[in-house]
A and B are shown apart, each in its own frame.
Chain A
Amino acid sequence: DIVMTQSPDSLAVSLGERATINCKSSQSVLYSSKNKNYFSWYQQKPGQPPKVLIYWASTRESGVPDRFSGSGSGTDFTLTISSLQAEDVAVYYCQQYYSTPYSFGQGTKLEIK
């Protein structure tokens, strides 16, 4: 099974500042023949189901603000929020869908400093 490890576990950032969350997979999730990373980021606010933010490692879901961006390839990935807003307080999860089970990371709790 592929193990997804996020860092940090929690993060406090001031409003308007940049927030960076990392995720490392125990093996590559890059499907070479398609040149695609089978990797996504989700945001989960309290009392709500998760919502996809980024897929294929760097493609923003429709309607997601452009302050959210994803980068990385192979085994190392990053979610960046360029200018933190109050509504971004949430837990963020990474997921690989390269091979089953399509594992999630342990989550990163993002708060306002």
Chain B
Amino acid sequence: EVQLVQSGAEVKKPGESLKISCKGSGYRFPNYWIGWVRQMPGKALEWMGIIYPGDSDTTYSPSFQGQVTISADKSISTAYLQWSSLKASDTALYYCARHGDSRSRHYYFDYWGQGTLVTVSS
């Protein structure tokens, strides 16, 4: 069974750093693109970027380029999303999700993590 299990909720102060995780199981983790999606409170889904864990090929949305870093460690089947200096506007629910095909970067998300709530407040 394919599963994506995300790390737990975080409460941080502005200016702090943070790295959240997404561990895949039940499939060949290096061979499927993993994406990150932001959902601000009561708002729509926003596509942040994707990474191919096999070679760490990464594409960011221009809206998030330079604001976050997406990485992966294929040896432990885990993808990451990190911030070096959080802002209050980073408060949101963050989902990881898997592309439904091992060969193409152009694909829909077939499996999703449960989401990680990040709260940034002074």
Contact = CB atoms under 8 A, between A and B. Distances in A.
A84 to B, nearest CB: 22
B62 A40 contact: no
A97 B110 contact: no
A38 interface: yes
With most chain B CB atoms within 10 A of its CB, the pick from A49, A97, A101, A107 is: A49
- Secondary structure at the B interface, as helix, strand, loop or mixed, is strand
A103 B63 CA distance: 11
Interface in A54-113: 55, 61, 93, 95, 97-98, 100-107
Interface of B: 35, 37, 44-47, 49-50, 59-63, 95, 97, 100, 106-110, 112-115
14 contacts: A49-B95, A49-B97, A49-B113, A50-B37, A50-B112, A52-B108, A52-B109, A97-B106, A98-B106, A101-B60, A103-B47, A104-B44, A106-B44, A107-B45
